[in-house]
Amino acid sequence: MTERPSARADLVWSLIWIAFGGAVFYGSWTMDRLEALHINPYTAPGLVPGVLGLGIVVMGVILLLRSLRAGAGGAPVQLITPRLLIAAVLCVAYGVGLVGQGLPFWLATLLFVFAGIAVFRWDDYRASGTVGRGLLTALLCAAGTAAGVTLVFQEIFLVRLP
Amino acid sequence: MLDGLALFGKALAHFADPLTLTYVALATLLGLIIGALPGLTATMGVALMTTLTLKMQPEVALLVLVCTYVGAIYGGSRSAILLNIPGTPANAAACLDGYQLALKGQAGRAMGISTTGSVMGTLIGIVALALFTPVLGELALKFGAFEFFWLALFGVIISGTLTGDDALKGWLAGFLGLLIAGVGQDPIHAYDRFSFGSRDLAGGFQLIPALVGAFGFAEVLTVLSERVARPVIHSFDSYLPRLMDVLQYWRTILRSGIIGTFIGIVPGVGEDVASWSSYAAAKRASKEPETFGKGSIDGLMAAETGDNACVPGAIIPVLALQVPGSAPAAVLMAAMIIHGVQPGPMIMVNNPQFVYDVVAMMLYATIGILVFGLLLVRPLIKILQVPRDIIMPIVFVLCVIGSFAIAQRLFDVWTMIGFGILGYVLRQYNYPMAPFVLGIVLGDLLDKNLRRGLVLSDGDLTPFVTRPISAVLFGICLLSIALNITAFREAMNRLWSRATGGRTA
């Protein structure tokens, strides 16, 4: 993103910070102070998170006032683009849905890398009329990555792959 | 001094066997490639390499990481000069004059200047690393809980002030990092904080997966979300560094080396600020400031010397204070701890050899960038032309397996993904990542020392601001915050102009 976020975006964020900091402060305030263990009250586990939560609330309020003074206007940041959505879905599907869920690691990796390259290079392959060659390249990259990573981590670094 | 030289000589000899030198070559080369490829940063490279070197001997693993770090910061100048895209954020200033030189058909000379500046900058930083780490370590022995609390807060505040263009957002990111470090068992009573009954959360977020996410996955998302045309690379002249450039620009080299090293020592600020500050200082000192941004050799030399001098500079507080000077240094510090090396004030007492080992590692890395900088110009250009859409899915696989490999638990992979998405969103809204990372690294230090300090003073806050070192750190924190308040800044400007009789600075 090249342009600065608008005052409106800062306004929304300030509210998020205030709510988050407030929740942390509440959680810290109500946290067990371990009085039954007769600890020094200055070492209570909630002390530091509470101070930090309060600090975030104060800074959130300053951000709120600043954005209100700036008019709280402007265009919202376009956070989600189709390419970003595809990238996020593919990565999360691989990292959460495929890895460690029963599918062999090498197969999950092969599928992910092939899909990733094929999807993001598709327009270029189609524009240059090299769809077949492009998909073959994607498959070779995917197979190379799956084999290389599996070999290096499993056989050399002795990591039990997910 | 002589003891230090003896330890340094021993370290140089220790690493001078063929296998270790092969590691030096491979790691520097990999760092160079990581740095040269836009979207792959030095922090991400060092984080990924940490996971790859877990099974190595500690000193070899750390040698690999240092070489990757130095190589990446240098490598980033290649894409800055040839593509006008900084390979790492540290090379953004190099784009200004490097690319202009490339447009004039002098990309080769620009690469030579970048090699000269990087090597000289790293060497200046190395001298400072060898000289100042023991001094700072000795000073740090005087630190108690009060000073360490301020040091942690100072790092987050300074980093928040200097690394973005909005200090408030930098501080918010830093505080978020400090809070995240507090999730899990608290370091004094082992009480589960914000774990919501989850055993995984009770263990806290591991630093390396969090960093791989914030710097690696977030970059993967950033790069894949933008459609990038195939890079066009201009033809170039000879890329051999010229002795004349060193002689002609020695003032720039020395000034930028000192600025870069000093900024490296300041916690959490890092190479990009070092590069811009050196560039700005060179422009102020130049007799031809109008040439800056239009292909100035002076400007490029300053930027490249400054960012590379920052690398050894950033390691000085890691070794002496256990506080990182930059984001990649934070990862390096985490790697040291994983490998059983305990940096901090006691290092010069318990393990002085390690300090000089790091100096020797830096020197080998510098030789590495000089050799590869001269030999691998054309192959690197081929790598720069590989579409990033092909590289990024492979990088994400490394992010996943790297996060998993540390403790072999899936929770770390989810942590990486969560922090990646969080990092991406924060960056889109102008929240800098360096204070966020520093917050995660320094959270434990701040937490333990605030509570210890309060116990020592029985709740009295006075020692936090009256002990000499505490008072200095407190004063700098306060001034950093106050200078970001418009009314205070304007009042200071008025006072200044009154004191100087209306002359502006």
Q: How far is A18 from chain B (nearest CA, A)?
A: 11
Contact A159 B226 (CB under 8 A): no
Using CB atoms, which residue from B178, B191, B405 is nearest to A45? B191
Q: What is the pLDDT of residue B234?
A: 63
State phi, psi for B339 to the nearest 5 degrees.
-85, 10
pLDDT along chain B (505 residues), means of 10: 85 94 95 86 89 88 96 91 84 89 85 92 96 92 94 92 89 96 92 94 91 88 81 64 82 96 90 93 92 92 96 96 92 92 90 94 96 83 83 91 86 95 93 91 93 95 94 93 86 85 55
Distance, CA of A110 to CA of A125 (rounded, Å): 20
**Measured between alpha carbons, how far is A52 from B212 in angstroms, rounded to an integer?**
25
> Are the C-beta atoms of residues B113 and B308 closer than 8 Å to each other?
no
Distance between CA B335 and CA B51 in Å, rounded? Answer: 9
Give the one of B194, B427, B430 whose C-beta lies nearest to A27's C-beta. Answer: B194
Q: Which residues of A touch B389 (CB under 8 A)?
A: 116-117, 120-121
Determine, for residues B416 and A95 on separate chains, whether the beta-carbon distance falls below 8 Å. yes
Residues of B in contact with A9 (CB under 8 A): 429
pLDDT in the model for residue A4:
63
Using a CB-CB cut-off of 8 Å, the residues of chain B touching A62 are 168
Residues contacting B482, CB < 8 A, separation 6+ = B488
Chain A closest-CA separation from residue B241 CA (Å): 35
pTM: 0.88
- The yes/no answer to whether this complex scores an ipTM above 0.85 is yes
Minimum mean pLDDT range among A46-55, A69-78, B55-64? A69-78
CA distance A48 to chain B (A): 6
Q: Closest-CA residue in chain B for A90?
A: B393
The long-range contacts involving A15-19, CB below 8 angstroms and separated by at least 24 positions, are A15/A60, A15/A64, A16/A60, A17/A56, A17/A57, A17/A59, A17/A60, A17/A63, A17/B172, A18/A56, A18/A57, A18/A60, A18/A61, A18/A64
CA distances from B367 to A151, B19, B194, B371, B390 (A): 31, 16, 48, 6, 31
pLDDT of residue B84: 81
H or E stretch at B250: helix B250-265
What local confidence, expressed as pLDDT, does residue A1 receive?
A: 42
Residue B325 phi, psi (nearest 5)? -85, -15
- What pLDDT is recorded for position B505? 42
pLDDT at B465: 94
Residue A159 has pLDDT above 80, yes or no: no
Whether A117 and B389 lie within 8 Å, measured CB to CB:
yes
